[in-house]
Structure 1
């Protein structure tokens, strides 16, 4: 069953209902995983998406912040939602397709502005969240699974506009990159985007602070699609839809796509 999957930090699903609908109409992924929905589940505009063929949804929500949802044209059943680091946040949802593929949708904490857990509680929470993800995958190693989401870390030197200038900036510090690598190794995850696009600068996020984000192009690849080794070779056609960052009232993230022949 070939299918195409997208992941997108939408930064308010109700505020950007129209942008989600446009993406679904223009790109027609079979499954889309959204993060930072900023909405209780019962307030998500499901009717709009159902009219476009996305009649299946599993989600976890918080009022005004966090929140993850999976919209699907294919039947999908919820198979779990973890609260890593006991934050009480809606940051993970997992669903299983009829072909047995499990999709994990994650929104890893951003970590605040200062990369020091002694003075910034949020940075400590981010590291603890990743540590518990790692331990979970160690204890229950996934198979036939895909992990997507805003992981809030750009791991490679060419995942940021300036490796040297961002080494002390949250999202690209060595300790975060190390924690993400340990999490990836624990689950046997393969970075599908970089499997398909192994070389070159690649970004999925550009700050709202830039007057002209496109010209400045100071981006980071914070959004990821991974797959377990048993199905990684089925992944292909990875792409980041940079143009979506330029839509009216955009999210600061662009959607990331991959297709799987399973």
Structure 2
């Protein structure tokens, strides 16, 4: 069975629903994971997604900030929401696919929006950065995020860390910039290693190649200098490593009208 999944920080699902529809009609992923939906669950554009063929929807939203959603053409059996750092700030949702999706064995999908962390990379001076570091520590210690053996798990989302040297436009210049500081990179990789996850992008693209999924709104022209970062991730459990058949970053989406600063990232697996 072919299974395709896209993750996208949409930066307001209601503002950019037409961009989402454009993408869906072109790519038709089985599942779309959104971050920064920025709306309460009752305001989520359910009817539009259902008209597009996505009947199965799991939401964890809040007014004006954060928010994550999983919209699917395939039914899921279970939904779960976890809180981190004792904050009810809508940064996680997971679902489990099973027989209803014609899967012989369960597939668990986690969708995350990790805190951005503000601008000052010092937890003593910046509560937002301190929150981000604690969040990453809790991801490492969260037992349900540790697939083992034959567990078929996928973790996606805007993890707000570009962990490797060529995940940013300039490793040297960004070492003291939030999202690429050594402590953030260490903590994200520790969470990844604790769960024995495979980072699909870096499993398929050599470490020597630059890979980006985000370009700042602050640049007048995002293409000049190509100053990107890889903040959006797809991880699969080791049992799924050999099942990955395709991986794509839709870079052109950053140039669409009124775009998100993030672009869609899609993985295809043969299950």
Q: Same fold (TM over 0.5)?
A: yes
Q: Does structure 1 residue 128 correspond to structure 2 residue 128?
A: no
**What 5-or-longer segments of structure 1 have no aligned partner?**
none
**What 5-or-longer segments of structure 2 have no aligned partner?**
none
The answer (yes or no) to whether the contact 1:192–1:236 under 8 Å persists in 2 is no
The answer (yes or no) to whether the contact 2:12–2:36 under 8 Å persists in 1 is yes
Q: Does structure 1 residue 141 correspond to structure 2 residue 146?
A: yes
Task: Measure, in 2, the Cα distance between the counterparts of 1:112 and 1:91.
Answer: 16
Task: Measure, in 2, the Cα distance between the counterparts of 1:50 and 1:44.
Answer: 12
Note the aligned Cα RMSD (angstroms): 1.1
Q: Does structure 1 residue 83 correspond to structure 2 residue 88?
A: no
1:13-162 equivalence runs, <5 A: 13-98=13-98, 99=103, 100-137=106-143, 141-142=146-147, 143-162=151-170
Task: Measure, in 1, the Cα distance between the counterparts of 2:217 and 2:77.
Answer: 35
TM-score, normalised with respect to structure 1: 0.97
TM-score, normalised with respect to structure 2: 0.94
Task: Measure, in 1, the Cα distance between the counterparts of 2:181 and 2:191.
Answer: 16
User: Of residues 211, 225, 244 in structure 1, which corresponds to 2:234?
Assistant: 225
Shift in Å, 1:59: 1.0
The answer (yes or no) to whether the contact 2:6–2:264 under 8 Å persists in 1 is yes
Task: Measure, in 2, the Cα distance between the counterparts of 1:224 and 1:18.
Answer: 23
The answer (yes or no) to whether the contact 1:210–1:216 under 8 Å persists in 2 is no
Shift in Å, 1:140: 6.3
Q: Does structure 1 residue 166 correspond to structure 2 residue 166?
A: no
1:239-250 equivalence runs, <5 A: 239-250=248-259
Q: What's the counterpart of residue 185 of structure 2?
A: 177
The answer (yes or no) to whether the contact 1:141–1:186 under 8 Å persists in 2 is yes
